[in-house]
Amino acid sequence: MDVSKDQSARQLPPMRLLAGVTEDYVDCQDSCGLTWHILKAGDPENPLVLFCHGYPELAYSWRKVLPSVAEAGYYCVAMDQRGYGRTTGWSRRPFHEVELNDFVFTNLVRDLVCLVYRLGYTKVFSIIGHDFGAVSSAMAALMRPDIFKSTVQLSHPHHPAPTPRLGDQPARAKLDIQAELAKLKPPRKHYKWYNSTPEAASDWDNPPQGLNQSMPDAVAHNMSGEDHAKTEHWLPQDALQVYCDEWKRTGFQGALNWYRAQTATTPQSTRDMLLYAGRKIEVPCAFISGKQDWGNFQQPGAFESYEDPKTVKAGCFRGVTLVDGAGHWVQQEQPEAVVKTILSFFKTL
């Protein structure tokens, strides 16, 4: 059986969640083929706000944010995305047999549209995403601004879709990030390219230090001698165990297929996004991140692209908030600051 089954997820023990947050399943098998696992908070009569997680995460990563935003008068829904957690209906085929067209952004946005309609809405007040979910949220707003009326990215800035050559313009030299990183001493690899390789899922499934540590081998080495307990104020052992249990059950290949379909290692990414050449985000948007997060600058020019009218329509960008004392998982490290910024952004809409 190469497709995850609805029954297996429904039979799992319920997650331990904060007050005001509940979990549910949303059957979209007749549209996008998925049965979504969601966390929800608030009154379904209120405007819908969607929360998209990144890698290696789950809807659970929004548990601290959902109740406070819901209390402000919104219906908040965070989903386990295709390839993740307790959402089912996605292919579990091994690396060389995966249909990567399932994971291109046109299909991932299609997934979100199907979820919105099944929830009983035709419009989303705001779609908010962290890490790879930030790319989902930006692509949803870019492709369907009639549905996704505003957007916020966390920890991964939006950058424009690729464009074909215009007329007789000379071909632009492409920066080979992998080659540039390989020149460093010691040489390095970009994690997106690494996550696209055949061995990545096995490395993530079987890291030498065990799944209960923070990341596979490179991070374990870099954290040598550090006090892991310092992170427990925002990710205590019982919360970490939720992630460990889910990844042990599902493995990492489904989630890593996102990297394979979106990076230069496969043709699907550019081919599909050329459909949106020259298109810009035309809905209100904002960016939030930890001030200490290197990911803000991992893609040259992306952080600055919000101010480029060719990428974001003039007047739509509402600004950057960098939360001091926070790194990449800002919505878990400092949820109060994230909630405050989100609600301030909502007041501008």
Q: Which domains does the chain have, with CATH numbers?
A: 6-162+267-347 (3.40.50.1820)
Token code pair at residue 243? 């992630």
DSSP 273: H
User: How many Å apart are CA 64 and CA 326, to the nearest integer?
Assistant: 15
Give the pLDDT confidence score for residue 260 in this predicted structure.
86
Q: Identify any residues that bridge with 27 across adjacent strands, giving them in sequence order.
A: 35
Give the pLDDT confidence score for residue 5 in this predicted structure.
43
| C-beta atoms surrounding 151 within 10 Å | 30
**pTM to 2 decimal places:** 0.88
Give the pLDDT confidence score for residue 160 in this predicted structure.
82
Token code pair at residue 105? 């952004």
Residue 208 has, within 13 A of its CA and on its CB side, a CA count of: 5
Give the pLDDT confidence score for residue 196 in this predicted structure.
77
Longest CA span, the chain: 61
User: How many Å apart are CA 256 and CA 269, to the nearest integer?
Assistant: 14
> For every one of its 349 residues, what pLDDT tens digit does the chain have, with 9 covering 90 and above?
344 444 577 889 999 999 999 999 999 999 999 999 999 999 999 999 999 999 999 999 999 999 999 999 999 999 999 999 999 999 898 888 989 899 999 999 999 999 999 999 999 999 999 999 999 999 999 999 999 999 999 999 998 877 888 888 877 766 677 777 777 777 766 777 677 777 788 887 777 655 454 345 666 777 788 887 888 999 999 999 999 999 999 999 999 999 888 775 567 777 888 899 999 999 999 999 999 998 787 776 777 889 999 999 999 999 999 999 999 999 999 999 999 999 999 999 9
Give the helix/strand (H/E) hosting 191.
helix 191-195
Token code pair at residue 288? 């939030």
User: How many Å apart are CA 339 and CA 349, to the nearest integer?
Assistant: 16
